[in-house]
Structure 1
Amino acid sequence: MSGFKTTLINCQQCGRRIMVRAVDTERGSIVCSHVGCGAVNVLQKPFHYDESIVLGLPSFGQLTYLGTPETTYRLQFGSNVIGTSDACTVQVARFVHNGRCFISRRHCTLTVVFDKWTGQLRYQLQDGAVDATTQLNQSSLNGTQLNGVPLLKTELIDVSDEGIITLGGVDRFRLAHYTIPSTMLDTYKIELDFNPDRTQ
Protein backbone atom coordinates (compact mmCIF):
# COMPACT_ATOMS: atom_id res chain seq x y z
CA MET A 1 0.00 0.00 0.00
CA SER A 2 2.94 2.38 0.59
CA GLY A 3 3.47 2.65 -3.20
CA PHE A 4 0.08 4.35 -3.68
CA LYS A 5 -0.03 8.09 -3.46
CA THR A 6 -3.00 9.42 -1.51
CA THR A 7 -4.17 12.97 -0.97
CA LEU A 8 -7.09 14.81 0.61
CA ILE A 9 -9.65 17.00 -1.14
CA ASN A 10 -12.71 18.90 0.04
CA CYS A 11 -16.02 17.44 -1.11
CA GLN A 12 -17.70 19.90 -3.47
CA GLN A 13 -21.10 19.30 -1.82
CA CYS A 14 -20.54 18.90 1.92
CA GLY A 15 -17.08 20.47 2.19
CA ARG A 16 -15.68 17.68 4.37
CA ARG A 17 -12.31 16.06 3.62
CA ILE A 18 -12.12 12.92 1.44
CA MET A 19 -9.08 10.72 0.92
CA VAL A 20 -8.27 10.21 -2.78
CA ARG A 21 -6.37 7.04 -3.68
CA ALA A 22 -4.54 6.12 -6.87
CA VAL A 23 -7.53 4.05 -8.08
CA ASP A 24 -9.79 7.13 -7.73
CA THR A 25 -7.33 9.19 -9.73
CA GLU A 26 -7.31 6.57 -12.52
CA ARG A 27 -11.12 6.41 -12.55
CA GLY A 28 -11.34 10.24 -12.58
CA SER A 29 -13.91 10.56 -9.80
CA ILE A 30 -14.59 9.79 -6.16
CA VAL A 31 -17.85 9.41 -4.23
CA CYS A 32 -18.01 11.21 -0.88
CA SER A 33 -18.33 8.57 1.86
CA HIS A 34 -19.66 10.92 4.53
CA VAL A 35 -23.12 10.09 5.93
CA GLY A 36 -25.87 11.97 4.09
CA CYS A 37 -23.67 13.20 1.23
CA GLY A 38 -22.69 10.69 -1.46
CA ALA A 39 -21.75 13.40 -3.97
CA VAL A 40 -19.64 12.41 -6.97
CA ASN A 41 -16.53 14.61 -7.11
CA VAL A 42 -14.98 14.69 -10.59
CA LEU A 43 -11.19 14.80 -10.54
CA GLN A 44 -9.85 16.82 -13.42
CA LYS A 45 -6.65 17.99 -14.96
CA PRO A 46 -6.08 21.61 -14.08
CA PHE A 47 -5.84 24.03 -16.97
CA HIS A 48 -5.81 27.69 -17.82
CA TYR A 49 -6.30 29.72 -20.98
CA ASP A 50 -3.63 31.52 -22.99
CA GLU A 51 -4.02 35.30 -22.62
CA SER A 52 -3.11 35.80 -26.28
CA ILE A 53 -6.78 35.00 -26.97
CA VAL A 54 -7.55 38.69 -26.36
CA LEU A 55 -5.67 39.64 -29.55
CA GLY A 56 -8.44 38.15 -31.67
CA LEU A 57 -11.51 39.37 -29.79
CA PRO A 58 -13.98 41.54 -31.72
CA SER A 59 -15.12 43.43 -28.61
CA PHE A 60 -14.25 44.10 -24.97
CA GLY A 61 -17.71 45.09 -23.81
CA GLN A 62 -19.51 48.40 -23.69
CA LEU A 63 -21.10 51.02 -21.46
CA THR A 64 -24.55 52.39 -22.27
CA TYR A 65 -25.64 55.76 -20.92
CA LEU A 66 -29.15 55.33 -19.51
CA GLY A 67 -30.20 58.96 -19.90
CA THR A 68 -31.26 60.96 -22.94
CA PRO A 69 -29.95 60.47 -25.51
CA GLU A 70 -29.05 56.83 -24.79
CA THR A 71 -25.45 56.47 -25.94
CA THR A 72 -23.16 53.44 -26.19
CA TYR A 73 -19.40 53.59 -25.54
CA ARG A 74 -17.09 50.76 -26.58
CA LEU A 75 -14.41 49.60 -24.13
CA GLN A 76 -10.82 48.63 -24.84
CA PHE A 77 -8.67 45.95 -23.21
CA GLY A 78 -6.76 47.37 -20.24
CA SER A 79 -7.47 50.72 -18.61
CA ASN A 80 -10.54 52.75 -19.63
CA VAL A 81 -10.56 56.20 -18.02
CA ILE A 82 -14.12 57.56 -18.08
CA GLY A 83 -14.84 61.29 -17.91
CA THR A 84 -15.52 64.48 -19.85
CA SER A 85 -11.89 65.22 -20.80
CA ASP A 86 -10.90 64.60 -24.41
CA ALA A 87 -7.87 62.74 -23.00
CA CYS A 88 -10.15 60.00 -21.57
CA THR A 89 -10.39 56.57 -23.16
CA VAL A 90 -14.17 56.83 -22.80
CA GLN A 91 -15.07 60.50 -23.27
CA VAL A 92 -18.66 61.11 -22.21
CA ALA A 93 -20.71 64.22 -22.87
CA ARG A 94 -21.09 66.94 -20.24
CA PHE A 95 -24.57 65.87 -19.14
CA VAL A 96 -26.11 68.93 -17.43
CA HIS A 97 -28.66 68.70 -14.60
CA ASN A 98 -30.07 71.95 -13.15
CA GLY A 99 -27.20 73.85 -14.72
CA ARG A 100 -24.47 71.53 -13.37
CA CYS A 101 -22.37 68.66 -14.70
CA PHE A 102 -21.61 66.07 -12.00
CA ILE A 103 -19.06 64.05 -13.99
CA SER A 104 -15.39 64.90 -13.42
CA ARG A 105 -12.92 65.37 -16.24
CA ARG A 106 -11.28 62.01 -15.27
CA HIS A 107 -14.04 60.52 -13.17
CA CYS A 108 -13.33 56.79 -12.80
CA THR A 109 -11.34 53.92 -14.29
CA LEU A 110 -12.83 50.67 -15.60
CA THR A 111 -10.06 48.15 -16.27
CA VAL A 112 -10.72 45.15 -18.53
CA VAL A 113 -8.47 42.16 -17.75
CA PHE A 114 -8.40 38.52 -18.85
CA ASP A 115 -8.85 35.85 -16.17
CA LYS A 116 -6.80 32.90 -17.38
CA TRP A 117 -8.56 30.48 -15.00
CA THR A 118 -12.14 31.21 -16.06
CA GLY A 119 -11.35 32.18 -19.64
CA GLN A 120 -13.44 35.33 -19.39
CA LEU A 121 -12.91 39.05 -19.16
CA ARG A 122 -13.16 40.79 -15.78
CA TYR A 123 -14.21 44.39 -15.35
CA GLN A 124 -12.68 46.21 -12.37
CA LEU A 125 -13.95 49.64 -11.33
CA GLN A 126 -12.17 52.31 -9.30
CA ASP A 127 -13.21 55.88 -8.54
CA GLY A 128 -10.83 58.46 -10.05
CA ALA A 129 -7.88 57.95 -12.36
CA VAL A 130 -4.09 57.79 -12.09
CA ASP A 131 -2.40 61.16 -12.66
CA ALA A 132 0.29 60.84 -15.37
CA THR A 133 2.68 63.17 -13.51
CA THR A 134 2.41 61.96 -9.90
CA GLN A 135 1.31 58.35 -10.65
CA LEU A 136 -1.19 58.75 -7.80
CA ASN A 137 -4.92 58.10 -8.09
CA GLN A 138 -6.95 61.32 -8.08
CA SER A 139 -10.54 60.78 -6.93
CA SER A 140 -13.57 62.26 -8.65
CA LEU A 141 -15.32 65.29 -7.12
CA ASN A 142 -18.76 63.69 -6.77
CA GLY A 143 -17.97 59.99 -6.35
CA THR A 144 -18.77 56.76 -8.19
CA GLN A 145 -21.43 54.19 -7.31
CA LEU A 146 -21.85 50.56 -8.33
CA ASN A 147 -25.46 49.32 -8.22
CA GLY A 148 -26.32 52.22 -5.90
CA VAL A 149 -23.45 51.60 -3.44
CA PRO A 150 -20.73 54.30 -3.24
CA LEU A 151 -17.16 53.12 -3.89
CA LEU A 152 -14.51 53.95 -1.33
CA LYS A 153 -11.72 56.14 -2.71
CA THR A 154 -9.18 53.27 -2.67
CA GLU A 155 -11.60 50.47 -3.62
CA LEU A 156 -11.14 48.32 -6.75
CA ILE A 157 -14.25 46.22 -7.34
CA ASP A 158 -15.43 43.73 -9.97
CA VAL A 159 -18.50 44.79 -11.95
CA SER A 160 -20.90 42.04 -13.01
CA ASP A 161 -22.59 41.91 -16.39
CA GLU A 162 -25.47 44.44 -16.52
CA GLY A 163 -24.03 46.23 -13.47
CA ILE A 164 -25.04 49.89 -13.12
CA ILE A 165 -22.24 52.44 -12.68
CA THR A 166 -23.39 55.88 -11.51
CA LEU A 167 -21.11 58.88 -11.93
CA GLY A 168 -21.55 61.85 -9.61
CA GLY A 169 -24.71 60.35 -8.11
CA VAL A 170 -26.73 61.29 -11.20
CA ASP A 171 -25.60 59.82 -14.53
CA ARG A 172 -26.15 56.06 -14.88
CA PHE A 173 -24.37 53.65 -17.24
CA ARG A 174 -25.04 49.92 -17.78
CA LEU A 175 -22.03 47.66 -18.36
CA ALA A 176 -22.38 44.86 -20.90
CA HIS A 177 -19.64 42.23 -20.71
CA TYR A 178 -18.23 40.55 -23.78
CA THR A 179 -18.43 36.76 -23.32
CA ILE A 180 -15.73 34.76 -25.08
CA PRO A 181 -17.35 31.81 -26.95
CA SER A 182 -16.49 28.35 -25.61
CA THR A 183 -15.48 27.15 -29.09
CA MET A 184 -12.85 29.87 -29.20
CA LEU A 185 -11.72 29.14 -25.63
CA ASP A 186 -11.10 25.47 -26.43
CA THR A 187 -8.32 26.40 -28.88
CA TYR A 188 -6.53 28.45 -26.18
CA LYS A 189 -6.75 25.83 -23.40
CA ILE A 190 -3.43 24.83 -21.79
CA GLU A 191 -3.55 21.66 -19.69
CA LEU A 192 -1.24 21.46 -16.69
CA ASP A 193 0.08 18.42 -14.85
CA PHE A 194 -2.64 16.28 -13.27
CA ASN A 195 -3.46 17.34 -9.72
CA PRO A 196 -6.10 15.34 -7.81
CA ASP A 197 -6.52 18.24 -5.37
CA ARG A 198 -8.56 20.06 -8.04
CA THR A 199 -12.18 18.99 -8.39
CA GLN A 200 -14.86 20.11 -10.78
Structure 2
Amino acid sequence: MEGFRTTLINCRECNRRILVRAADAERGTIICSHIGCGALNTLQAGFYYDETIVQGLPGFGHLTYLDKPEKTYLLQFGSNILGTSDSCTIQIDRFMHNDRCFISRRHCTITVTFDKWIGQLRYQLQDGFIDSSTQQQQSSLNGTLLNGVLLQKNELIDVSIDGIISLGGADRFQLTHYCINPEMLNTYKIELAFNPDRTQ
Protein backbone atom coordinates (compact mmCIF):
# COMPACT_ATOMS: atom_id res chain seq x y z
CA MET A 1 0.00 0.00 0.00
CA GLU A 2 1.99 2.93 -1.36
CA GLY A 3 2.49 5.88 0.96
CA PHE A 4 1.06 4.10 4.02
CA ARG A 5 2.74 4.88 7.32
CA THR A 6 2.46 2.59 10.32
CA THR A 7 -0.06 3.79 12.85
CA LEU A 8 -1.58 2.82 16.20
CA ILE A 9 -5.21 1.92 16.82
CA ASN A 10 -7.11 0.80 19.91
CA CYS A 11 -8.19 -2.85 19.97
CA ARG A 12 -12.00 -3.14 19.93
CA GLU A 13 -11.84 -5.84 22.64
CA CYS A 14 -9.11 -4.91 25.15
CA ASN A 15 -8.76 -1.24 24.15
CA ARG A 16 -4.95 -1.48 24.20
CA ARG A 17 -2.88 0.00 21.38
CA ILE A 18 -1.97 -2.14 18.33
CA LEU A 19 0.57 -1.22 15.66
CA VAL A 20 -0.97 -1.37 12.15
CA ARG A 21 1.42 -1.95 9.26
CA ALA A 22 0.76 -1.56 5.52
CA ALA A 23 0.17 -5.32 5.08
CA ASP A 24 -2.52 -5.22 7.82
CA ALA A 25 -4.27 -2.24 6.20
CA GLU A 26 -4.17 -3.94 2.79
CA ARG A 27 -5.58 -7.19 4.24
CA GLY A 28 -8.25 -5.18 6.11
CA THR A 29 -7.82 -6.95 9.47
CA ILE A 30 -5.39 -7.20 12.35
CA ILE A 31 -5.31 -9.63 15.29
CA CYS A 32 -4.56 -8.10 18.67
CA SER A 33 -1.17 -9.41 19.87
CA HIS A 34 -1.72 -8.63 23.55
CA ILE A 35 -1.64 -11.65 25.91
CA GLY A 36 -5.13 -12.93 26.66
CA CYS A 37 -6.84 -10.95 23.88
CA GLY A 38 -6.33 -12.12 20.28
CA ALA A 39 -9.40 -10.21 19.02
CA LEU A 40 -9.82 -9.75 15.28
CA ASN A 41 -10.07 -6.04 14.44
CA THR A 42 -11.56 -5.11 11.07
CA LEU A 43 -9.88 -2.08 9.51
CA GLN A 44 -12.36 -0.04 7.53
CA ALA A 45 -11.50 2.04 4.54
CA GLY A 46 -14.04 4.77 4.06
CA PHE A 47 -15.77 5.60 0.80
CA TYR A 48 -18.21 8.04 -0.75
CA TYR A 49 -20.09 8.37 -4.02
CA ASP A 50 -19.09 10.90 -6.69
CA GLU A 51 -21.69 13.66 -6.86
CA THR A 52 -21.49 13.83 -10.66
CA ILE A 53 -23.86 10.84 -10.69
CA VAL A 54 -26.78 13.28 -10.53
CA GLN A 55 -25.95 14.56 -14.03
CA GLY A 56 -27.02 11.24 -15.55
CA LEU A 57 -30.18 10.58 -13.55
CA PRO A 58 -33.44 10.42 -15.53
CA GLY A 59 -35.46 12.00 -12.72
CA PHE A 60 -35.45 13.39 -9.20
CA GLY A 61 -38.74 12.15 -7.77
CA HIS A 62 -42.27 13.52 -7.95
CA LEU A 63 -45.33 14.61 -6.00
CA THR A 64 -48.70 12.91 -6.47
CA TYR A 65 -51.88 14.83 -5.62
CA LEU A 66 -53.81 12.36 -3.46
CA ASP A 67 -57.30 13.60 -4.45
CA LYS A 68 -56.41 13.03 -8.14
CA PRO A 69 -53.60 10.42 -8.33
CA GLU A 70 -53.23 10.98 -12.07
CA LYS A 71 -52.00 14.52 -11.24
CA THR A 72 -48.24 14.47 -10.64
CA TYR A 73 -45.54 17.15 -10.38
CA LEU A 74 -41.92 16.37 -11.28
CA LEU A 75 -39.15 17.60 -8.98
CA GLN A 76 -35.84 18.97 -10.17
CA PHE A 77 -32.41 18.79 -8.52
CA GLY A 78 -31.88 21.74 -6.16
CA SER A 79 -34.57 24.09 -4.88
CA ASN A 80 -38.22 23.48 -5.85
CA ILE A 81 -40.61 26.28 -4.82
CA LEU A 82 -44.22 25.02 -4.85
CA GLY A 83 -47.23 27.28 -5.15
CA THR A 84 -49.91 28.66 -7.44
CA SER A 85 -47.74 31.46 -8.87
CA ASP A 86 -46.34 30.98 -12.37
CA SER A 87 -42.98 32.13 -10.96
CA CYS A 88 -42.71 28.91 -8.91
CA THR A 89 -40.46 26.04 -9.91
CA ILE A 90 -43.52 23.80 -9.58
CA GLN A 91 -46.80 25.56 -10.30
CA ILE A 92 -49.60 23.80 -8.40
CA ASP A 93 -53.18 24.01 -9.67
CA ARG A 94 -55.58 26.19 -7.70
CA PHE A 95 -57.55 23.38 -6.05
CA MET A 96 -60.78 24.84 -4.68
CA HIS A 97 -62.56 23.87 -1.44
CA ASN A 98 -65.89 25.70 -0.89
CA ASP A 99 -64.71 28.39 -3.30
CA ARG A 100 -61.40 28.81 -1.44
CA CYS A 101 -57.85 27.86 -2.38
CA PHE A 102 -55.61 27.11 0.62
CA ILE A 103 -52.35 26.95 -1.34
CA SER A 104 -50.26 30.14 -1.24
CA ARG A 105 -48.71 31.70 -4.31
CA ARG A 106 -45.29 30.49 -3.07
CA HIS A 107 -46.24 27.95 -0.44
CA CYS A 108 -43.24 25.75 0.43
CA THR A 109 -39.83 24.63 -0.77
CA ILE A 110 -38.53 21.11 -1.37
CA THR A 111 -34.75 20.99 -1.79
CA VAL A 112 -33.34 17.90 -3.53
CA THR A 113 -29.66 17.20 -2.82
CA PHE A 114 -27.34 14.20 -3.15
CA ASP A 115 -25.94 12.62 0.03
CA LYS A 116 -22.53 11.36 -1.09
CA TRP A 117 -22.05 9.23 2.05
CA ILE A 118 -25.10 7.02 1.51
CA GLY A 119 -25.45 7.47 -2.25
CA GLN A 120 -29.08 8.58 -2.29
CA LEU A 121 -31.07 11.70 -3.00
CA ARG A 122 -32.21 13.67 0.03
CA TYR A 123 -35.47 15.64 0.16
CA GLN A 124 -35.81 18.52 2.62
CA LEU A 125 -39.06 20.43 3.15
CA GLN A 126 -39.51 23.98 4.43
CA ASP A 127 -42.65 26.08 4.74
CA GLY A 128 -42.58 29.16 2.50
CA PHE A 129 -39.55 30.22 0.50
CA ILE A 130 -36.43 32.38 0.69
CA ASP A 131 -37.05 35.72 -1.05
CA SER A 132 -34.10 36.13 -3.45
CA SER A 133 -34.12 39.94 -3.22
CA THR A 134 -34.15 40.21 0.60
CA GLN A 135 -32.79 36.74 1.54
CA GLN A 136 -35.62 36.62 4.11
CA GLN A 137 -37.83 33.61 4.83
CA GLN A 138 -41.44 34.21 3.71
CA SER A 139 -43.99 31.82 5.26
CA SER A 140 -47.13 30.47 3.62
CA LEU A 141 -50.54 31.80 4.71
CA ASN A 142 -52.03 28.45 5.79
CA GLY A 143 -48.99 26.39 6.80
CA THR A 144 -47.31 23.21 5.59
CA LEU A 145 -47.66 19.81 7.27
CA LEU A 146 -45.50 16.72 6.93
CA ASN A 147 -47.26 13.47 7.83
CA GLY A 148 -49.87 15.48 9.75
CA VAL A 149 -47.36 17.56 11.76
CA LEU A 150 -47.23 21.33 11.19
CA LEU A 151 -43.79 22.65 10.25
CA GLN A 152 -42.52 25.52 12.36
CA LYS A 153 -41.21 28.71 10.81
CA ASN A 154 -37.65 28.23 9.46
CA GLU A 155 -37.82 24.46 10.17
CA LEU A 156 -36.10 22.33 7.53
CA ILE A 157 -37.05 18.66 7.73
CA ASP A 158 -36.20 15.50 5.76
CA VAL A 159 -39.10 13.85 3.95
CA SER A 160 -39.01 10.06 4.12
CA ILE A 161 -40.01 7.82 1.22
CA ASP A 162 -43.73 8.28 0.45
CA GLY A 163 -44.04 11.10 3.02
CA ILE A 164 -47.32 13.04 2.89
CA ILE A 165 -47.03 16.82 2.46
CA SER A 166 -50.15 18.87 3.13
CA LEU A 167 -50.39 22.41 1.77
CA GLY A 168 -52.71 24.60 3.81
CA GLY A 169 -54.21 21.58 5.56
CA ALA A 170 -56.51 20.86 2.60
CA ASP A 171 -54.42 19.49 -0.26
CA ARG A 172 -52.23 16.41 0.30
CA PHE A 173 -49.36 15.23 -1.87
CA GLN A 174 -47.28 12.07 -1.60
CA LEU A 175 -43.56 12.51 -2.26
CA THR A 176 -42.01 9.64 -4.21
CA HIS A 177 -38.21 9.53 -4.03
CA TYR A 178 -36.09 8.64 -7.02
CA CYS A 179 -33.97 5.64 -5.97
CA ILE A 180 -30.61 5.30 -7.69
CA ASN A 181 -29.89 1.89 -9.19
CA PRO A 182 -27.29 0.12 -6.96
CA GLU A 183 -25.31 -1.15 -9.97
CA MET A 184 -25.05 2.37 -11.36
CA LEU A 185 -24.20 3.72 -7.90
CA ASN A 186 -21.27 1.31 -7.51
CA THR A 187 -19.62 2.74 -10.63
CA TYR A 188 -19.45 6.11 -8.81
CA LYS A 189 -17.95 4.71 -5.59
CA ILE A 190 -14.68 6.33 -4.50
CA GLU A 191 -12.59 4.48 -1.92
CA LEU A 192 -10.76 6.48 0.72
CA ALA A 193 -7.46 5.50 2.24
CA PHE A 194 -7.51 3.51 5.49
CA ASN A 195 -8.44 5.71 8.41
CA PRO A 196 -6.88 4.50 11.69
CA ASP A 197 -9.79 6.03 13.63
CA ARG A 198 -12.27 3.69 11.91
CA THR A 199 -12.27 0.14 13.32
CA GLN A 200 -15.08 -2.35 13.71
TM bin, normalised by shorter chain, reads 0.7 to 0.9
CA RMSD of aligned residues (A): 2.7
Unaligned runs of at least 5 residues, structure 1:
33-38
SS at match of 1:194: strand
- Residues 81 and 40 of structure 1: is their aligned pair in 2 closer, same or farther, counting only changes over 3 Å? farther
Q: What CA deviation, in whole Å up to 9, does each residue of 1:78-117 have, x standing for no partner?
A: 0000111111111111111111110000000000001111
Give the conservation status (yes or no) of the 8 Å contact 2:8–2:196: no
Aligned counterpart, 2:116: 116
1:40, 1:170 → 2: CA distance? 57
1:6 positional shift: 2.3
Aligned counterpart, 1:194: 194
Give the conservation status (yes or no) of the 8 Å contact 1:20–1:196: no
User: Which residue identity does 1:166 align to in structure 2?
Assistant: S
The answer to whether structure 1 residue 6 and structure 2 residue 8 are counterparts is: yes
TM-score when scaled to structure 2?
A: 0.83
Which structure has the bigger radius of gyration?
Answer: 2
- Residues 69 and 40 of structure 1: is their aligned pair in 2 closer, same or farther, counting only changes over 3 Å? same
Q: What CA deviation, in whole Å up to 9, does each residue of 1:52-90 have, x standing for no partner?
A: 111000010011010136411110000000111111111
Give the conservation status (yes or no) of the 8 Å contact 1:124–1:157: yes
User: Which residue identity does 1:8 align to in structure 2?
Assistant: N
Q: What CA deviation, in whole Å up to 9, does each residue of 1:154-193 have, x standing for no partner?
A: 1011111100111101110001101111111122111121
SS at match of 1:76: coil
Give the conservation status (yes or no) of the 8 Å contact 1:25–1:196: no
- The correspondence of residues 160-171 of structure 1 with structure 2, limited to 5 A, is 160-171=160-171
Give the conservation status (yes or no) of the 8 Å contact 2:84–2:92: yes
1:121 positional shift: 0.5
- Residues 26 and 49 of structure 1: is their aligned pair in 2 closer, same or farther, counting only changes over 3 Å? closer
1:131 positional shift: 1.3
1:8 positional shift: 3.4
SS at match of 2:88: coil
User: Which residue identity does 2:131 align to in structure 1?
Assistant: D
Give the conservation status (yes or no) of the 8 Å contact 2:12–2:41: no
2:16, 2:70 → 1: CA distance? 54
User: Which residue identity does 2:105 align to in structure 1?
Assistant: R
1:10 positional shift: 7.0
Aligned counterpart, 1:74: 74
Aligned counterpart, 2:133: 133
1:156, 1:149 → 2: CA distance? 13
Q: What CA deviation, in whole Å up to 9, does each residue of 1:30-73 have, x standing for no partner?
A: 799xxxxxx98743211111111110000100110101364111
Aligned counterpart, 2:35: none
Unaligned runs of at least 5 residues, structure 2:
33-38
**Match among 3, 20, 38 for residue 22 of structure 1:** 20
- Residues 161 and 9 of structure 1: is their aligned pair in 2 closer, same or farther, counting only changes over 3 Å? farther
Aligned residues: 188
TM-score when scaled to structure 1?
A: 0.83
